[in-house]
Amino acid sequence: MNGLFVWETELAKKLITLNHISKSFGSQLVLDDLSLYINENEFITLLGPSGCGKTTTLRIIGGFETPDSGEVIFDGEDITKLPPNKRQLNTVFQRYALFPHMNIAENIAFGLKIKGKSRDYINDKIKYALKLVNLDGYETRMPDSLSGGQQQRIAIARAIVNEPRVLLLDEPLGALDLKLRQDMQYELIRLKNELGITFIYVTHDQEEALTMSDTIVVMNQGYIQQIGTPEMIYNEPENAFVADFIGDSNIIRSTMVRDELVNILGVDFPCVDKGFGENTPVDVVIRPEDVILSDKLDGRIQGIVSHLIFKGVHYEMEVQANGFEWLVHSTGFFPVGTPVSIDVIPFNIQIMNKPESEDEEALGIEEYA
């Protein structure tokens, strides 16, 4: 579990390297021998539950925390002990951190004034930043006159005028309502594409990570569980924690009969996976939208619909079948009490090795049926 995790494209330039980072607060180990590469011009998201170490990782990159061991390399230079103001990056926090007694222009100009920039330079940068975040003409407004989304845009504007090579975003949308949060997700994608800088984003929200990221780093209990594109993380989870944390999943104790055949709840299903051996205990992941329900009872497993909820874009059903409660998402539905059958096409059955070591048990997954 403590190995080096690498995610990079062929032509990507590694901008930040974390080498064997460990960090404890008192007796609590927060990061355990974490290694990670971050590429230039990448939108990378550190995703995981509270206490997984994602914010500590961000703070170590930003210079707000010093690791107990390991090193932070920025563009080939060791910056492990370099203070935050000497690093080529800026941070946007969840609570905006705007100065309430300063107007918007003064808030944006704050860092530039400390650097001793000229008045003309600062004025040009203010106009540029406000245009970039779609708030032209807000120079004289006060922070308390703005909505939460507007304040967050000003916080981003204040960060980007300093021309950082990296923008660190620590759950910046957490205080916004759902609609505004969704709007800001698209704004951040646009900003990243226009600015051409590296975004390192921290969140516990799976939808945010899947929507915005080029690369997602899934973390839990101080370990990296998986690194990949949003599509890879969702469709090919490497372990039960990732499968359960990213979206909804049916995770079922099963047996790999042989290559391309798995026994799920006593019934053989064809699959596409190979190399797991014969009669090997495995975990099977089946996404709710990949479960095929039929009231003609022509599927492999028979069951009864036990629960039904309308979710807007789909119906969510629970089906009791072979001692397991299946979660099903579908645009059609069957009423509670309807006898149905369950089937899954081979491509949509994801096979995973069961955890064997204590480190793998740190994934924190409960026992499944």
Say how far apart CA 180 and CA 185 lie, in whole Å.
9
Dihedral sign for Cα atoms in the order 245, 246, 248, 254: negative
User: Is the per-residue pLDDT at 366 higher than 60?
Assistant: no
* Homologous superfamily in CATH for domain 1-88+165-235: P-loop containing nucleotide triphosphate hydrolases (3.40.50.300)
Q: Where are the domains of the chain?
A: 1-88+165-235, 95-163, 248-361
Say how far apart CA 72 and CA 367 lie, in whole Å.
37
pTM of the predicted model as reported, rounded to 2 decimal places: 0.84
H/E run at residue 124:
helix 119-132
Say how far apart CA 343 and CA 248 lie, in whole Å.
18
31 and 54 Cβ atoms separated by less than 8 Å: no
**CATH tag, 248-361:** 2.40.50.140
**Average pLDDT of the segment spanning 62-91:** 94
Q: In angstroms, what is the C-alpha Rg of the chain?
A: 24
User: Is the per-residue pLDDT at 4 higher than 50?
Assistant: no
Concatenating the DSSP letter of every residue in 142-196 gives: -GGGS-HHHHHHHHHHHHHTT--SEEEEESTTTTS-HHHHHHHHHHHHHHHHHHT
Burial code of 288-297, b = ≥16 C-beta within 10 A, e = fewer? bebbbbeeee
Say how far apart CA 263 and CA 167 lie, in whole Å.
47
pLDDT of residue 360: 52
pLDDT of residue 328: 98
DSSP lists the bridge partners of residue 316 as 309, 329
Say how far apart CA 105 and CA 125 lie, in whole Å.
10
Percent of all residues in the chain with a pLDDT value above 90, rounded to a whole number: 67
Say how far apart CA 297 and CA 339 lie, in whole Å.
8
Q: Report the range of poorest mean pLDDT among 31-40, 168-177, 295-304.
A: 168-177
Average pLDDT, the chain: 89
Say how far apart CA 56 and CA 170 lie, in whole Å.
10
Concatenating the DSSP letter of every residue in 201-254 gives: EEES-HHHHHHH-SEEEEEETTEEEEEE-HHHHHHS-SSHHHHHHSS--EEEEE
- Euclidean distance between the first and the last CA atom of the chain, given in angstroms as a whole number: 25
* SS3 state at 115: coil
pLDDT of residue 115: 86
Q: Report the range of poorest mean pLDDT among 135-139, 171-175, 326-330.
A: 171-175
pLDDT band at 153 (very low <50, low <70, confident <90, very high): confident
pLDDT of residue 6: 46
H/E run at residue 358:
helix 358-361
